[in-house]
Structure 1
Amino acid sequence: MQHNECLNCGTTIVGKYCSNCGQKTDTHRITFKHFLAHEMLHGVWHLEKGILFTVKEALTRPGYAALDYIAGKRFRYYNMFYLMLLVLALILFAAHHTESKEAFDEAVLDDDDNYQKLVQFIDTYIKPILFTLVPLLAINSYVLYRRLKLNFLEHVIISGFTSLAMFVTALVAIAITVKYHPVTDFISDLLFWVMLLFPILAYYQVSASKYKFWGFAWRLVLFYLLLILEIISIISFFTIVFLL
């Protein structure tokens, strides 16, 4: 049913969508058939479409996708930070059902009460701990890739796409691990190494037009060194807090 005024905000309508709030002008009475065929299936399809597109872009062209997003081409993308939280939740679920989690618990959860507190803290706050990868990548790229002339939050977008690709790869690596199956273990280990290569891909795509090969190479080496030092510092801090 077409209306001359938006039923949501009352604005005069020209076209298929309200220019003020974006609601469709063609509304339907809610019936069981319409709810099942349109509201449910249509909504689920578009949700999956946005998620799958965002994951595909993050895995294949994280740097270019980030630049597109920064430039304002955002309609087709699902919110990457919500998506990262979803992927992290799936990683934790998968990790709690693998042999590696059981082996870790047996190796660490001994009679030392301090170790138990540290592991309990990590298990409780693993999401924000892993999420610190995003600002760490952003800080390093903001310092090293100044020719991009992007502000810090725009570097956060780049690190967000990069981190999403890393998290999705880690999820696949954990999910395919089968107990006592050497083939899946090999593929899983390979995927973890692939995961570490996404910053190279992302920042090459972002900065290839701004830096020559050696300029990109030394920045990349320094980028990883800084990231390693930052991660070691964070781990050391929590170790000192809980074990000393």
Structure 2
Amino acid sequence: MTCLNCQQEATGKFCPNCGQRTEVKRITIREGWNDFWARIYGVDGKLMHTLRDLTIRPGVVAKKYIEGNRVLYYGPVGYFFLMLTIYVLFISIFDIDMLQLFKISNEAIYEEGSGQEQNALKIQEWIFKHQRLVSFLYIPFYALGAVLLFRKNKYNFAEHSTLVFYTQGHYLWPTIIILIILKFTGYSHIFAKGMFVSLLIGALYYAYGCRQLYTAYKPGRAMFRGVLVHIFSFFTLMFTVMVLMIIAVIIVVIIDSELLKPLLEPPPNVE
């Protein structure tokens, strides 16, 4: 039998050269449904294996991928962006107004009329609109922290990034669950606390993955260093953003200082 895809001789249900089915059925609703689940579960169960093993042993998934197993699991970068897409999709399906949640949270944090609330909301709005870019830019800081704190394992920068991509993508599941709970329980006023819980879960989850991946360290020390990586990445990112903002302000002052006036003017008094 000749393969329809690569034209090689094939026996059995699949072509040994490219994996194309040798028996192709006519397109029907039933066949489309079966093909959908075949893509989900697959012969090797790639997606289900990835979801299951990332939940219970993220460090093992990263370790196998680093060691060369590219068949059993989704790639880390692909899974990361898949989860970001699912995250945005859930927000859209359940009509979760993130900007409204940010606004409610800011009202509880900042003094009314101080102007800080609106400035914070603008930054949060920009971050939400460019979430994929912001999330992706966060990865190098995480990986840099891992390079510095887990040198005994002799991984390079890209190999350290593997666990970061997997864990940063997978921890979006509890974030999605928390957002849905806040949406349907009416507890939007505790949004900031909910996001803090989500971030805490993310930090501990990454540390748990470090315990399994970085076997050159004792389990407890690996987890502790994983928490330090999380702290390091956060403050390094904040420092980098501050430096870039200062540089941007200096450039604006040199070019045209008039552009800064709207930012420097005090907010109008609310009677």
Residue 171 of structure 2 aligns to a residue in which SS?
A: helix
2:257 is matched with none
1:146 is matched with 151
Match of 2:31 among 30, 35, 38: 38
2:79 is matched with 80
Amino acid at match of 1:232: M
Match of 1:195 among 188, 202, 208: 202
* Structure-2 change in CA distance of 1:104 and 1:216 (3 Å): closer
Residue 196 of structure 1 aligns to a residue in which SS?
A: helix
In percent, how many aligned pairs have the same letter?
A: 23
Calculate the aligned-residue CA RMSD, in Å: 3.8
Residues of 2 paired with 1:31 and 1:181: CA distance?
46
Residues of 2 paired with 1:105 and 1:119: CA distance?
10
Residue 211 of structure 2 aligns to a residue in which SS?
A: helix
> Is structure 2 residue 21 aligned with structure 1 residue 21?
no
Instruction: Report Cα offsets for 1:113-136 as digits up to 9, x if no partner.
Output: 976754443232122112223222
* Structure-2 change in CA distance of 1:180 and 1:24 (3 Å): closer
Instruction: Report Cα offsets for 1:73-121 as digits up to 9, x if no partner.
Output: 343433413323324424654652586234157688x878976754443
Match of 1:228 among 229, 234, 251: 234
Structure 1 alignment gaps of length 5 or more: none
Q: Is the 8 A contact 1:17 1:23 kept in 2?
A: yes
Residues of 2 paired with 1:121 and 1:46: CA distance?
35
Q: Is the 8 A contact 1:88 1:127 kept in 2?
A: no
1:54 is matched with 50
Number of matched pairs: 236
In the superposition, the TM-score normalised over structure 1's length comes to 0.75
Match of 2:173 among 145, 168, 173: 168
Q: Is the 8 A contact 2:2 2:10 kept in 1?
A: yes
Instruction: Report Cα offsets for 1:21-48 as digits up to 9, x if no partner.
Output: 22111222x143xxx2223333245326
The alpha-carbon deviation at position 16 of structure 1 amounts to: 2.9
Residues of 2 paired with 1:105 and 1:88: CA distance?
22
Query: For structure 1, which segment, 234-243 or 159-168, has the greater mean C-alpha deviation from structure 2 after superposition?
Result: 234-243
1:71 is matched with 67
Q: Is the 8 A contact 1:63 1:161 kept in 2?
A: no
Q: Is the 8 A contact 1:6 1:18 kept in 2?
A: yes
Query: For structure 1, which segment, 57-66 or 172-181, has the greater mean C-alpha deviation from structure 2 after superposition?
Result: 172-181
Residues of 2 paired with 1:60 and 1:232: CA distance?
31
Amino acid at match of 2:36: G
In the superposition, the TM-score normalised over structure 2's length comes to 0.69
2:3 is matched with 6
1:210 is matched with 216
Structure 2 alignment gaps of length 5 or more: 250-262, 265-271
Residues of 1 paired with 2:193 and 2:102: CA distance?
17
